Amino acid sequence: MRETKGQLRVWHIPQVPMIAFRVNVKNIEEAKKVLEVLATYDLFQLKHKIKPDYSNAAGLEIFDGKEWLEWEDKDGNDIDNTEEE
């Protein structure tokens, strides 16, 4: 898949320090939903002892035309701390 400037993708590491998997998203609203689902799923696995313990990480990246960077809103907030939708 060819990256285009402004393209968004969610990254998720289900067990740090393993590598992240990534999924393209259409907009901030979709990114927030994907991140919420992944976090809820990780908690489900912990509660039902599928994973005895874990340390996960996730976020949103944007392609700037040359490389993938961590996404920030106009005020410098990351996806966990923004009100944008």
pTM here is 0.87
The tally of domains found in the chain comes to 1
Residues β-bridged to residue 11:
22, 59
Interatomic CA distance for residues 62 and 68, integer angstroms: 6
Handedness of CA 3, 31, 39, 72 (dihedral sign): positive
Q: State the pLDDT confidence band at 1, using cuts at 50, 70 and 90.
A: low
Mind listing the pLDDT tens digit for each residue in 25-76?
999 999 999 999 999 998 999 899 887 777 889 999 999 999 999 999 999 9
Interatomic CA distance for residues 85 and 68, integer angstroms: 21
Q: State the pLDDT confidence band at 22, using cuts at 50, 70 and 90.
A: very high
Q: Within a domain: residue 44? A: yes
Q: Within a domain: residue 62? A: yes
Closest residue by Cα to residue 7 from 58, 81, 66: 66
Residue 71: domain span: 8-81
CA atoms lying within 13 Å on the CB side of residue 78: 9
